[in-house]
């Protein structure tokens, strides 16, 4: 797959998930203002990287990615809820995200909290109500078990708490990795593991994909840190240099810019080693790994 | 079952759930401050009415209530998360609950939000990871499906949004019922439906229990409104008369105090009619219905 076909892959699949997501919310029997608040943030765009990783995994095992749209939607609901809560005045107090006002700036803090709660809860409902012609009960239960672990106290929420505790402190590399492994890595990993569960991959393949995903997640975060130094504000859609201003612990701060780039390369290489051990067509996941390393936003 | 045995039932089962709940949290591999915040509110006491309804249903069908402890714990986690988020400054801004400082007053707003998120997410994990010797995959999926609906945008969260929208407005009886049906009723109902699912009750029994639960939930709320007028601050552990001060729409306000008491009687009578249609030993659920009607706190 060359860069043109990667572009087509990303655009086509992004259009699909962005068509599917609002359908789940508009059909809810719930107060309109709640549905508006849920939709506002679900439709705020972004790369939809997590669904892309899910689709690439499903397709790598020869599956039809459209059957995994409910799981992709659930992942985006959980990712979106985490952004809404992170942006709150009590947390990061951000007024803008991706150039749009944050949820609480439009709907108020109370509705934003509840819209996040609703998206989190509904994500699990979407999975358990999937068509049993496409997925059996054991697969559903594995998906919910993996997703709760990835997004709950031992996963994303735990990482967010550790991140808050680490603010204005000098962190070691292992502390920094703990934070990113859980705060962003676990949900990225889930996206890949979910694809393997849907495709009924062997335990050995799941293990290798889990290691692939772990390195990919750290690579993703290192690239984010590098872009905060070398990126363009116009392309990123957010100010650069904010990590330095906020005295945040980052990979470039701990390892130097060159050291961070070396670390990024290492994680991508290790990720690919694990990927090559998996009995699947690796092409799309490999391209996504390169995309994560080389992206400019 | 006379009032003495009801008391024993309530005390013994309360001790069990209060032993079980902290075990789920202390064993988590998560930042200590997050676990402390989760435990703080989980251990803040209360009547544990929802677990009691679950146990009474399971036992009414001849089951062992101990097998349903994970589901009871999940229900308390969701109930507790909703209280933590409701108490936040952005929502009701309460400093005390049951005589103890609210979660955010002890741990700060950010950690309180995240402790709520963690409890909500973890509740589903506890259910899907139940021992398959006690519950089969289809039962688990039904439990998760019912619980997400009861607590999500079409249930508790939706009711909370409707309640906020109704503040400082004169509501009709049907608007008031919509709010309470979802804000408090849906999770109470789930507690009963969950017992029926665990006991593999027939669809007909589930339908009758759903109607029983619906009337019971409204009765519970009407009694709450009445206690805010007639109750004792010492017994309730909170100031009385706050609904009037806050100009809240209540049943006594809409129907008068006598009208509200009549409505309470009606809902309890209707609830029992549905209960008597269920093929089970009704004793414990009937006693709990009477307890809800006659309680002084």
Would you place residue B3 in the very low, low, confident or very high pLDDT band (cuts 50, 70, 90)? low
Chain A residues with beta carbon closer than 8 angstroms to that of B86 = none
How do residues B47-58 score in pLDDT, each as one tens digit? 999 999 999 999
DSSP, res A172: P
A 10 A CB-CB count for B8 gives: 11
Predicted pLDDT of residue B2: 64
Predicted pLDDT of residue B112: 98
Chain A residues with beta carbon closer than 8 angstroms to that of B110 = 90-91, 164
Average pLDDT over residues B165-174: 91
Across the interface, whether the CB atoms of B85 and A114 are under 8 A apart is answered yes
Size of interface A-B (CB pairs under 8 A): 150
Among residues A46, A39, A40, A48, which one has the least CA distance to residue A17?
Answer: A48
| Helix/strand number for chain B, H first, E second | 15, 2
Predicted pLDDT of residue A113: 98
How do residues B195-234 score in pLDDT, each as one tens digit? 999 999 999 999 999 999 999 999 999 999 999 998 877 7
How do residues B102-116 score in pLDDT, each as one tens digit? 999 999 999 999 999
Predicted pLDDT of residue A1: 58
Domain ranges of chain A: 3-294
Q: Which of residues 238-277 of A touch B (CB under 8 A)?
A: none
Query: In whole angstroms, what is the distance from residue B74 CA to residue B50 CA?
Result: 11
How far away is chain B from the Cα of A7, in angstroms, using its nearest Cα?
A: 35
How far away is chain B from the Cα of A117, in angstroms, using its nearest Cα?
A: 7
How do residues A209-237 score in pLDDT, each as one tens digit? 999 999 999 999 999 999 999 887 777 76
Reported ipTM: the value is 0.96
B183 touches chain A (CB under 8 A): no
When scoring B75, B153, B160 by the number of chain A Cβ atoms within 10 A, the one with the most, hence best to mutate, is B153
Chain A residues with beta carbon closer than 8 angstroms to that of B102 = none
Query: In whole angstroms, what is the distance from residue A9 CA to residue A3 CA?
Result: 10
DSSP reduced 3-state for B100: strand
Looking at the predicted structure, is the pLDDT value of residue B4 above 80?
no
Would you place residue B27 in the very low, low, confident or very high pLDDT band (cuts 50, 70, 90)? very high
Looking at the predicted structure, is the pLDDT value of residue B285 above 70?
yes
User: With contact defined as beta carbons under 8 Å apart, do B292 and B223 qualify?
Assistant: yes
A101-104's contacts with Cβ under 8 Å and 24+ in sequence apart are A103/A37, A103/A40, A103/A41
Per CATH, domain B3-294 is 1.10.260.40: no
How do residues B225-281 score in pLDDT, each as one tens digit? 999 998 877 777 677 777 777 778 899 999 999 999 999 999 999 999 999 999 999
User: With contact defined as beta carbons under 8 Å apart, do B269 and B275 qualify?
Assistant: no
Give the residue, A168 or B60, on which the prediction is more confident. Answer: B60
Percentage of chain B modeled with pLDDT above 70: 98
Nearest to A28 among B35, B137, B154 (CB): B154
Extract the tokens encoding B121. 């997410």
| Positions of chain A with pLDDT lower than 50, given as ranges | none
Predicted pLDDT of residue A172: 93
User: With contact defined as beta carbons under 8 Å apart, do B190 and B75 qualify?
Assistant: yes
Nearest to B158 among A31, A108, A125 (CB): A31
Residue A97's H or E segment, with its range, is strand A96-97
Predicted pLDDT of residue B117: 98
Across the interface, whether the CB atoms of A118 and B34 are under 8 A apart is answered no
Predicted pLDDT of residue B1: 58
């Amino acid at each position: 797959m060359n860069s043109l076909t990667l572009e087509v892959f990303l655009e086509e699949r992004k259009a699909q998930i962005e068509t599917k997501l609002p359908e789940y919310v508009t059909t809810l029997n719930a107060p309109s203002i709640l549905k508006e608040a849920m939709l506002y943030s679900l439709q705020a765009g972004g790369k939809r990287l997590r669904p892309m990783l899910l689709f690439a995994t499903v397709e790598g095992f020869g599956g039809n990615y459209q059957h995994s749209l409910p799981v992709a939607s659930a992942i985006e609901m959980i990712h979106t809820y985490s952004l809404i809560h992170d942006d709150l005045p009590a947390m990061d107090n951000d007024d803008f995200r991706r150039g749009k006002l944050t949820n609480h700036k439009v709907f108020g803090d109370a509705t934003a909290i509840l819209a996040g709660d609703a998206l989190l809860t509904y994500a699990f409902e979407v999975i358990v109500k999937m068509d049993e012609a496409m997925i059996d009960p054991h697969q559903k239960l594995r998906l919910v078990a993996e997703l709760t672990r990835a997004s709950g106290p031992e996963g994303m929420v735990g990482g967010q708490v550790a991140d808050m505790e680490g603010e204005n402190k000098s962190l070691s590399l292992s502390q920094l990795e703990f934070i990113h492994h859980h705060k962003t890595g676990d949900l990225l990993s889930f996206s890949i593991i979910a694809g393997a569960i849907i495709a009924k991959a062997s335990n050995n393949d799941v293990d290798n994909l889990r290691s692939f995903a772990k390195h990919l997640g750290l690579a993703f975060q290192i690239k984010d840190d590098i872009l905060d130094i070398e990126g363009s504000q116009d392309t990123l859609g957010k100010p650069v240099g904010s990590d330095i201003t906020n005295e945040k612990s980052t990979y470039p701060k701990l390892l130097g810019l060159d050291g961070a780039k070396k670390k990024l390369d290492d994680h991508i290489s290790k990720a690919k080693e694990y990927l090559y051990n998996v009995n699947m067509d690796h092409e799309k996941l490999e391209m996504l790994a390169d995309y994560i390393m080389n992206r400019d936003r």
